[in-house]
Amino acid sequence: MNFSVQDGEFIAILGPNGAGKSTLLKLLLGLVKPHAGSVRVLGRAPSKGNKDIGYAPQFRMVEADFALRARDIVRFGLDGNKWGPGWPNRKRDELIEQVLQEVNALSFADAPVGQLSGGEQQRLLIAQALLTGPRLLLLDEPLANLDIAHGQEIVALVKTVCRSRNVAVMLVTHDVNPLLPAVDRVLYMANGQCAIGTPQEVITSQILSNLYGSQVEVVKALGSMFVVGVQI
């Protein structure tokens, strides 16, 4: 696998379960080491705790009785994993307020997280990932368990963040259709192989058949793409 991502570029990472999509993010984060070859991120080898990389893990709804406030969850992105006094209170609070506004979460910033919708909770994870001013934003399945409307809102938000901050975004997903109007390129992974390009270049019957090693049909209708012949 050999590819590069430009500043301000929005890339979707696609492929079936077990293709290595989440593992790729872990490689970029320095959480696992490659079995062969080398990985360079922002000009250097991956390392844990790199402030130039923002990461939002796979989203799971919290329990309804979870009482911690939304802004408190976001704050953990600054000093929740560090010993000592952390950031000065005023600077920390200003930064938290800024990212909450950026993800349109100020209206529920003081609400208990357990009372928020899935889309609202996902906004908090993105806000948390933005706190350190990253150059690369990694999002692992941010659309999972969201309905169509909330999924579209998250896609629009991520695209806005990508362009306004000129930050590179790599987003893992199972379904490219909500992302078609927003992404610049897709990285499709299957059977230890990959293809990268625009959705129109990569999501074709020929390319996917080559990746899977069997016949795959891509059907395009009503502005969406449907892959027939494999379980994604």
Q: Where are the domains of the chain?
A: 10-191
Counting every residue, how long is the chain? Answer: 232
Place of tokens 């200003």: 94
Please report the pLDDT score of residue 84 as a whole number: 42
| Residue 83: band (very low, low, confident or very high) from pLDDT cuts 50, 70, 90 | very low
Q: Is the pLDDT of residue 28 over 70?
A: yes
Q: Is the pLDDT of residue 98 over 80?
A: yes
Give the pTM.
Answer: 0.88
Question: H or E segment at 211?
Answer: helix 205-212
Answer CATH for 10-191 from 3.40.50.300, 3.30.420.40, 3.40.50.620, 3.30.1490.100:
3.40.50.300
> Residue 190 pairs with which residues in a beta bridge?
193
3-state percent breakdown (helix, strand, coil) of the chain, nearest 5: 35, 20, 45
DSSP notation for 32-75: S--SSS---BTTB---TT-TTEEEE----PPPTT---BHHHHHH
- Average pLDDT of span 103-120: 94
Q: Where do runs of H (alpha helix) occur along 58-170?
A: 70-79, 89-102, 118-130, 148-165
| Residue 111: band (very low, low, confident or very high) from pLDDT cuts 50, 70, 90 | very high
**What is the token pair recorded at 161?**
């963040």
Please report the pLDDT score of residue 122 as a whole number: 95
Distance, in Å, from the CA atom of 168 to the CA atom of 228, rounded to the nearest integer, reads 31
